[in-house]
Structure 1
Amino acid sequence: MKLSARNTLKATVKKIIPGTVNSEVILELSPGVEVTAIITKDSVESLGIAEGKTAYAVIKSTDVMLGVD
């Protein structure tokens, strides 16, 4: 995976809280250190994001996006 964003944090998906349109994805960077992203339910499904899997918090400007291998 190559990105233009310079702030990419590898993490484990700790919890997914689904909503009607968006889902809240909580990533654990290390024990007790978490970051949360709000992404569409379609993105959760298409990226195969699931609890326990590895994902990347990609921070660019004021947005936090997720990426997977």
Structure 2
Amino acid sequence: MKISARNFLEGTIKEVHKGATTAHVEIEIKAGIVTASITNESVDELGLVKGKKAHAIIKSSDVMIAVE
């Protein structure tokens, strides 16, 4: 697979939490856990299950930080 995004994190699916239409997929990477919100349809099409190797690809125009 080739992709232009540079924020490409390899890991293993820790949990898949399906909701009514959207799923939260937790991917365990070296630095911790990354959670993605994707459609249930995408979960099914990609065959995402606990223990499967996956990549978190992060593409964003900005990052927000907040403190108390």
**Residue identity matched to 1:5:** A
The RMSD of aligned alpha carbons is 1.2
Match for residue 22 of structure 2? 22
**Equivalent residue runs for 1:1-69 within 5 Å:** 1-30=1-30, 33-62=32-61
- Residue by residue over 1:34-61, the C-alpha shift from the partner in whole angstroms, topping out at 9 and shown as x without a partner, is 0100000000000111100001000111
Distance 1:23 1:41 in 2: 5
**Residue identity matched to 1:33:** G
**Residue identity matched to 1:21:** T
Aligned length: 61
Partner SS for 2:58: strand
**Higher share of residues assigned strand:** 1
Counting aligned pairs with the same residue, the percent is 46
Partner SS for 1:61: coil
Query: Runs of 5+ in structure 1 lacking a partner?
Result: 63-69
Based on CA coordinates, which of the two structures has the bigger radius of gyration? Answer: 2
Distance 1:55 1:24 in 2: 14
- In the superposition, the TM-score normalised over structure 1's length comes to 0.83
Query: Runs of 5+ in structure 2 lacking a partner?
Result: 62-68
